[in-house]
Amino acid sequence: MNVLVTGATGFIGKHLIPSLLEKSFSVHALARPTSRRPASFSDRVTWCEGNLSNPDSLKKACRNMDTVIHLAGIVKAGKAAEYFAVNYEGTQNLLKAAAPSVRLILISSQAAVGPTTAAHPLDEEAPPRPVSAYGRSKLAAEKAVIESDKSIRYTIIRPPVVYGPEDRESLSIFKLARYHLRPQIGFGKSFVNAIYVKDLVAFILACLQEPRAERQIFHINDGIDNGYSYHELIQTAAEVLQTWTAPVFIPKIVLKGLAVINAFIADLFGRTSMFNPDKYHELTAPAWLLSAQKARRIVGFRAENSLSEGFTKTIRWYLSKGWLR
């Protein structure tokens, strides 16, 4: 089976492609000409140079593809229009280029459905209420897939926090633990789901092999629907590192002010700010929780790695590569 992977050189792509190769898929990878190709599998895949804003490159990449796994997207941008240009319009371009009956796996985001309250994990029937431009762009991409006039056999996956080797976005959690810091934002607790990257990859492969996963949206996590507080995340990292942490109280008003100032400075100098008012709203939401009951029921999915096991593997990799000292 011919499989095209977009975002092949990104965090998830670096884990997905070796697993596809192990299953004897013929893997084609979409990447920019300037992207660094992982040496571990570079010579075992067919590389297609291009990007989501180049329809001609997408047509070439999609030619003779049975399956497309769409990982590509951006998680940080200076303006909302940039998110939509890549995450939404890029997905539309991919849909136009793909064969009418292609099998499509869209990796969306928990941000598309939005936050909830503690002890109330959202299932797939919950009305989406994204609180950031990123989340709105991912939701728009989902709608583009669902409303496509083609007979595309899609599966949409909304992962929570994904962590593991090669991930720079979650590295801050482990650095905080290493430096003995445990931030406490405001007086309440916030809860999040998480999943180890290898378990996300296993779920993607399971969906490819399960006909009942077609034309479905799935929420997934590591099996703990009620998630973890930020305190638990950092404390678990500290336990793996065999160190201690101390609470650092951060008033919400201070954090909000920093977000506004940071966004203003970034805009002034034409830079992209990872911490802005959108990120503030995400960080201070009561909970980011998903119910994975549907994934367990239809696909029979069970994550193999607990939070402690996943953190142990991740930290071991960070230390070996010098990302964490």
Interval 18-37: pLDDT, tens: 999 999 999 999 999 888 99
Interval 182-201: pLDDT, tens: 888 765 678 999 999 999 99
The structural domains of the chain, ordered by start, are 2-163+194-223+289-305 (3.40.50.720)
Interval 43-69: pLDDT, tens: 999 999 999 999 999 999 999 999 999
Interval 91-122: pLDDT, tens: 999 999 999 889 999 999 999 999 998 889 99
The token pair at 262 is 């940071």
Euclidean distance between CA atoms 162 and 160, whole angstroms: 6
Average pLDDT, the chain: 93
Write down the pLDDT at residue 253.
85
Give the lowest-confidence range in 77-86, 277-286, 288-297: 277-286
Write down the pLDDT at residue 274.
67
* Closest listed residue to residue 271, CA positions, set 121, 78, 9, 82: 78
Report CA-CA distances (Å) from 63 to 30, 50, 59, 106, 119.
12, 14, 6, 18, 46
* Closest listed residue to residue 316, CA positions, set 260, 240, 245, 261: 240
Are β-strands 228-229 and 191-192 bridged in parallel, bridged antiparallel, or unpaired?
Answer: antiparallel
Write down the pLDDT at residue 271.
72
Residue 318 has a CB neighbour count (10 Å cut-off) of: 21
pTM of whole model > 0.85?
Answer: yes
